[in-house]
Amino acid sequence: MNRAADVAGAVLGLVGAAPALAAAAVAIKLEDGGPVLYRQRRVGQDGCDFDLLKLRTMVVGAEGIGAGFAVNEGDARITRVGRALRRLSLDELPQLWNVVRGDMSLVGPRPTLRYQVERYTPRQRRRLEVKPGVTGWAQIHGRAALPWEERIELDVWYVENRSPWLDVKILLRTPLALFSDTYKGETGGWRGSS
């Protein structure tokens, strides 16, 4: 039932977001001629790797220059178009295709990089018991503004208390969380290079 809801929601989301995705793709291509999509290997359910899809918001080859995987506020590698996409979280929209493919769910802990997973405590590894999500409990409670340990703890709480009703609550609160971050002028802090 959860899988069916994920697929239906992701397909509807992709259809609804198609104009925004098309406009973003044109803007990215016009800015520097580089690829529109960015793929990054992330860790999913049960510790299995998958390729996370995002709209590219940084210069081509960003992981090999500057701070590498870390992305700081005001990072010079972020393109002009990329700043706008990150501010509105539009760069995350291609992850709906990850949901259709079965790599992710609409709701769950945000997927992290392998080197981060290797630092998990046994308790923190519980976040790998479920599929990673496009949005999650930590996202509606502060996103990247929260300390790393607090975000992980919120994700573990979600794993231990998840239910269809909690997922609905998270989905309903996600737009408000995004608007709140945008209104404050936040760029989302570290979200992996893209």
pLDDT digits (tens, 9 = 90+) for 120-131: 999 999 999 999
In sequence order, the β-bridge partners of residue 41 are 51
Q: Are strands 49-55 and 37-43 parallel, antiparallel or unpaired?
A: antiparallel
DSSP 78: B
Query: Which helix H or strand E contains 49, and what residues bound it?
Result: strand 49-55
d(C-alpha 81, C-alpha 79), whole Å = 5
pLDDT tens-digit series, residues 131-167:
999 999 999 998 777 888 999 999 999 999 999 999 9
Q: How far apart are CA 16 and CA 90, in angstroms?
A: 13
pLDDT(21) > 80: yes
The confidence band for 34, taking pLDDT boundaries of 50, 70 and 90, is very high
Would the pLDDT of 186 be above 80? no
Instruction: List the chain domain ranges.
Output: 2-183
Beta partners for residue 133, in sequence order = 105
Under 8 Å between Cβ of 107 and 174: no
CA–CA separation, 105 and 10 (whole Å): 9
Confidence at residue 194, expressed as pLDDT on a 0 to 100 scale: 38
Classified as helix, coil or strand, 183 is helix
More confident residue, 74 or 45: 45
Q: Are 145 and 186 in contact (CB under 8 A)?
A: yes
Is 70 exposed, middle or buried (CB count within 10 Å of its CB: 0-12, 13-18, 19+)? exposed
- pLDDT reading at 91 higher than 80: yes
Q: What mean pLDDT, rounded, does the chain reach?
A: 88
